[in-house]
Structure 1
Amino acid sequence: MGQPRKALRTTAIGTVSAALLAGPAVGVAPAAPAVGIQAQSTATGIRFVDIEGDGGTVLKANVITPSGSDGTHKYPVIVLPTSWGLPQIEYIAQARQLADSGYVVVSYNTRGFWQSGGKIEVAGPPDIADASKVIDWALANTPADPGKVGMAGVSYGAGICLLAAGHDKRIKAVAALSGWADLVESIYSGRTQHVQATAMLAGAGYVTGRPSEEFQRITADFFSSNLAKEQELIAWGKKRSPITYLDRINANGAAIMLGNAWGDTIFPPNQYADFYEKLTGPKRLELRPGDHATAEGTGLLGLPNDTWTSAHRWLDHYLKGVDNGVEREQPVRLKSRSTGAYESYPDWKSVAATERKIDLDGTKKIFANIDSGANGGIIFLSSILDQFAKLPPMASIPLLPRSFAAVWQSERYGSEQPVRGTTKLHTTVTSTKESGTLVAYLYDVGPLGLGKLVSNAPYTFHDKTPGKPFAVDLELFSTAYDVPAGHRLALVVDTVDPLYIEHNPSGAQLTFSSSAADPSYLSVPLREK
């Protein structure tokens, strides 16, 4: 990773921006944890409790039981770990709905945040142990059925749910929404730091919680691009990645529902889809337009929400035995960014029934360190605009400066092209420097040359021999987008994007080439109509 020219400046901007982007999650400083206090709210039926977590750490929690519970009847129990930076009341609306339908619900503030004790461990071993401690408490202190234990959560809570499912055999069902399966592929895909996403998380952690010394050291190394620490960073991330414990998760056999957004700028959908394919138990994958946690956000307010409706159906079937047909439905459910219509598939590989290759002929040379005008947008804002107004980031493809952006375009399509799944780039790159970063963008280009962003992904290389060609294989972030008839697809590659830290030394140049022996191409996944 070296010391990229703009790393420190980018980090400072990203960290300052974090407080602005995190919204209500970072608005109040955490109070010191209070121990041994329990309160009963007669107006809401919510009981606020202290639960002893791993190592005696106090976890602030709330409990809701079904009305009329006399202590003799046992109910399925749902444990809800909070999202990153949010207080324990996050799930109140959903907890009430679950309790009304016959669940004991225990929601707790994860360690290190708000009034819970301890420090932020970023889903480390203490967080996994905490989940089991909360289950222990629920079984001992509520009318919870030990044979019907489930977990659900959004974002940080989703990741903890999946990790816990690999360590606690009592967990029978999980609904993990806007979470991660591979932390490294989420914030360091293509060996590139996702600076806006990580700065937002770090900023929110400092404002609403107490970061551990390890977390502080890891983020410092991450932002400073300390290549000597790269393997340590990767090992730290893998330890906190559910996919690392895939064998345990499959052996324990929990029924797992995964939900995410196409434009999730913190946990992109690719890593969730890859994880889904490797699960062997009952499973379901749902992907919708939006950014991180926006697909299920209205449900946290108690409003009608498709994601939470699906989660309730999933939990009802696998914890309560309700014959609602969820197990007979095709398990991969996608919502198009373009039409808002739902589509169902038997598995992830069936999403892209065919692949169309676009040849990337010729040789193109670009100068690094200059933003061409093509970019992935701004964390949250861009994908939310796409979700609600169908306004993704745009660029005028004819006006992109070819000195700083390599551009290839397909022919105009005579019919609509439904892009579904993961677009793959294969090319040959020659750099004048040993390190560098490139960012690939796929655009839907209209008759006037205006391109709407379909997908993107970064790629960073180190220790290459200057002047010696090397192959690059890059998967762009998965999506569901319909290219209208009369439009064409364009691949744009440049070297600077505000979403990522770039590693281009001053004066660097990149050359993209194709040969008969190793042709360059873009493979676009299409759904058959």
Structure 2
Amino acid sequence: MPVDGSTDPFFAFGTDDLAKLDAIREALLDPSPRRIGRLDQWGLADDYEVYAEIGQYSETTITLADGTQLDASLSVPRGLAPGQTCPAVVLPAPLISIGHRAYLGMLSRWTQGGYVVLAYSQRGLAKSTGEIHVAGPQDVADAAEVVDWLLTQNQVDAERIGFFGASYGAGTSLLAAASDPRIKVVAGTSAWADLFTSLYENGTRHLAAFEALVTLFGEDRCSPEFREVIQKIRANTIDDQVREFARVRSPRNNLAKYNDAATAILLTTSWHETIFSVPAVIDFHNNLTGPKTLLIQVGDHGNAELPGLAGLPAKPTDMAYRWMDYHLGGTAGNGAPPRFDIRSEYMFNPLSDLRHASWDEYAQPKKRFHLADAASGQRDGQLVEDQPQAGWTRSVKATGKGTNIVVAPKLVQTGLAERWGLPNTYRTAETDRGLAAVFATAPVAQASRVRGDLELRVTVKAQQAGATIVAYLLDLNPATGSANIITHAPYTFTDQPAGQATTVTFPLQPADYVVARGRQLQLVIDTQDPFFSYENVTTPVFTLDITSPKGSESYLDIPLQPID
């Protein structure tokens, strides 16, 4: 829980971590033996004794041209020779009530690595004044003024400036770099690339994530423009204003600027990310032509880097130190050069560490599984290879209520449990077949890996316009009846008239998942998930037919290959 007692589900520092950050701050502000000695309970006293000798920390307010005051902190190496300058790293805050103080655990390492470090809370966030613009043009202009202020520090080398940010700070960093050529390097953890697809995937609102973001921002602190957009998204009015609001806040719309400037960009995301679009991050990375690297980990938004923000080892922050060192000339990392590649873990094993030169090399060839009717004596449909299966229909009821299968029972926290090796377990035998259509493969003959992009084609005829389907791919253990989620995606038939059969093809979230021998892959298609729709909505009950007409047979493409 944060210090003000509110809930910060994206970066939920535990009580001990918050106490540690408070103790670090006190020792930075007053490096007395008593203050530093308090850090001994976390094994940090020696580190901050060193920092007290080589670094100087201060908290400051940056007053912008319009009078807005940004809450900030500055850490500067001591003992520089006259005229000596250092690389600098700027840290815009993640979306958390303590703002830029979320980075306190990183400051010592940056400073001991020879960096000037400036951390700040964007306008409207934490103790900064002004209204929240969600990394919009105003925040980009603010970042340029922050760099102006930074360059008034004589120790800063104007040619060696990088930005590091987590979540909201990642978006701010990327968008600032697109507009300010002084920013040469970016490391963004739990980053976003396309805000629109993060809010509105395949015609479907990501309502649970959206409302969580609004709650964290605090609606009363948001700009009038953002408040208008909030109401339009709630009303499902996805008009030009909403699209433009998202467009100018989407880094991948600045792709040409990054490539022309050869901006060095490190990105991290997670397989079970429920806040920002993973496919958009991958696509953005793939189309960068400058120095780049991508890390995809087990878990959900913010899970993997949180220990690193608190000063502990973590892949995202360890990679960020090396990334900045390589491009800016500091020594905060371990001395090893960064890798310019795809680095990943597979679900649900955070100790795994896979590397490939590119996404094309990383993703496996796809196998096509055709959706088929149930075998004789069976209630569920089949997923069969090679032979298209036409002429069947599976009917489900759309009642405004979902099944026991959901994207994630809890935003962020479900993914965090996955990092601990405790994925949520579903009992698909208990899934109401009146509300969902279920299809399954035969048990796999040998252990296999799902790695890469997935695609579903299906024909749907709904008795009501604007119907939604949600597809989930699960790993089913037939011996126990328990299943774990591999991936998912929604699709809303925004332009489909009632009663008209429509064939759609859409991607599921990419995945990296090992399927044990004897397991089955199970596809569940239902019509409601609280992740995509508000609870307790009164909707008419109607029938939705899932079909497979000849010439447009339904299929699921899965990048599934046996493990040697």
State the TM-score, normalized to the length of structure 1. 0.89
The verdict on how the C-alpha distance between 1:481 and 1:523 changes in structure 2, with shifts beyond 3 A counting, is: same
Which residue does 1:103 correspond to in 2?
115
Which residue does 2:3 correspond to in 1?
none
Larger displacement relative to structure 2 (362-371 or 287-296):
362-371
1:346 aligns with 2:357: yes
1:331 aligns with 2:319: no
Q: CA deviation at 1:24?
A: 5.8
Structure 2: how far apart are the matches of 1:152 and 1:525? 33
Q: CA deviation at 1:385?
A: 1.3
1:252 aligns with 2:286: no
1:189 aligns with 2:201: yes
Q: CA deviation at 1:42?
A: 4.3
Q: CA deviation at 1:97?
A: 0.7
Deviations 1:495-528 (A, max 9, x none): 1111111799512221111133112111111356
The verdict on how the C-alpha distance between 1:298 and 1:528 changes in structure 2, with shifts beyond 3 A counting, is: same
Structure 2: how far apart are the matches of 1:49 and 1:422? 46
Structure 1: how far apart are the matches of 2:429 and 2:12? 40
Structure 2: how far apart are the matches of 1:42 and 1:375? 49
Which residue does 2:29 correspond to in 1?
41
Structure 2: how far apart are the matches of 1:87 and 1:170? 24
The match for 1:522 among 545, 548, 556 is: 556
Structure 2: how far apart are the matches of 1:67 and 1:442? 55
Q: CA deviation at 1:137?
A: 1.1
Structure 2: how far apart are the matches of 1:528 and 1:152? 39
Structure 2: how far apart are the matches of 1:95 and 1:215? 32
Q: CA deviation at 1:324?
A: 5.2
The verdict on how the C-alpha distance between 1:528 and 1:102 changes in structure 2, with shifts beyond 3 A counting, is: farther
Matches within 5 A, 1:238-249: 238-249=247-258
The verdict on how the C-alpha distance between 1:338 and 1:42 changes in structure 2, with shifts beyond 3 A counting, is: closer
1:426 aligns with 2:457: yes
Larger displacement relative to structure 2 (250-259 or 508-517):
508-517
Which residue does 1:133 correspond to in 2?
145
- Count of equivalent residues: 495
> Is the 2:285–2:292 contact (alpha carbons within 8 Å) kept by the matching residues of 1?
yes
> Is the 2:300–2:416 contact (alpha carbons within 8 Å) kept by the matching residues of 1?
yes
Deviations 1:232-270 (A, max 9, x none): 212211111111111112112110000111112111322
Larger displacement relative to structure 2 (364-373 or 66-75):
66-75
Larger displacement relative to structure 2 (464-473 or 286-295):
464-473
1:159 aligns with 2:171: yes
1:292 aligns with 2:304: no
- Unmatched tracts of structure 2, length 5 or more: 1-5, 16-27, 32-51, 373-391
Which residue does 2:544 correspond to in 1?
510
State the secondary structure of the residue aligned to 2:218. Answer: helix
The verdict on how the C-alpha distance between 1:177 and 1:234 changes in structure 2, with shifts beyond 3 A counting, is: same
State the secondary structure of the residue aligned to 2:61. Answer: strand
Q: CA deviation at 1:68?
A: 2.1
The match for 2:485 among 453, 475, 486 is: 453
Deviations 1:336-370 (A, max 9, x none): 12343111111112222211111112321111123
What is the one-letter code of the residue matched to 2:269? N
1:174 aligns with 2:205: no
1:374 aligns with 2:384: no
The match for 2:531 among 470, 492, 499 is: 499
1:312 aligns with 2:344: no
Which residue does 2:502 correspond to in 1?
470
The verdict on how the C-alpha distance between 1:504 and 1:364 changes in structure 2, with shifts beyond 3 A counting, is: farther
Q: CA deviation at 1:71?
A: 5.3
What is the one-letter code of the residue matched to 1:422? D
Q: CA deviation at 1:21?
A: 4.2
Q: CA deviation at 1:103?
A: 0.6
What is the one-letter code of the residue matched to 1:347? S
Alignment RMSD (CA, Å) = 2.3
Give the greater-gyration-radius structure (CA). Answer: 2
User: What is the aligned-residue identity percentage?
Assistant: 31
State the TM-score, normalized to the length of structure 2. 0.83
The match for 1:441 among 472, 496, 511 is: 472
Deviations 1:16-57 (A, max 9, x none): xx94746868x9xxxxxxxxxxxx934263111222335342
Structure 2: how far apart are the matches of 1:22 and 1:132? 27
Structure 2: how far apart are the matches of 1:384 and 1:511? 36
1:51 aligns with 2:62: yes
> Is the 2:10–2:301 contact (alpha carbons within 8 Å) kept by the matching residues of 1?
no
The match for 2:133 among 121, 138, 145 is: 121
The verdict on how the C-alpha distance between 1:70 and 1:48 changes in structure 2, with shifts beyond 3 A counting, is: farther
Q: CA deviation at 1:110?
A: 0.5
State the secondary structure of the residue aligned to 2:192. Answer: coil
Larger displacement relative to structure 2 (136-145 or 296-305):
136-145
State the secondary structure of the residue aligned to 1:344. Answer: strand
Which residue does 2:234 correspond to in 1?
223
> Is the 2:114–2:330 contact (alpha carbons within 8 Å) kept by the matching residues of 1?
no
The match for 1:480 among 512, 516, 537 is: 512
> Is the 1:71–1:143 contact (alpha carbons within 8 Å) kept by the matching residues of 2?
no
1:357 aligns with 2:368: yes
The verdict on how the C-alpha distance between 1:341 and 1:427 changes in structure 2, with shifts beyond 3 A counting, is: same
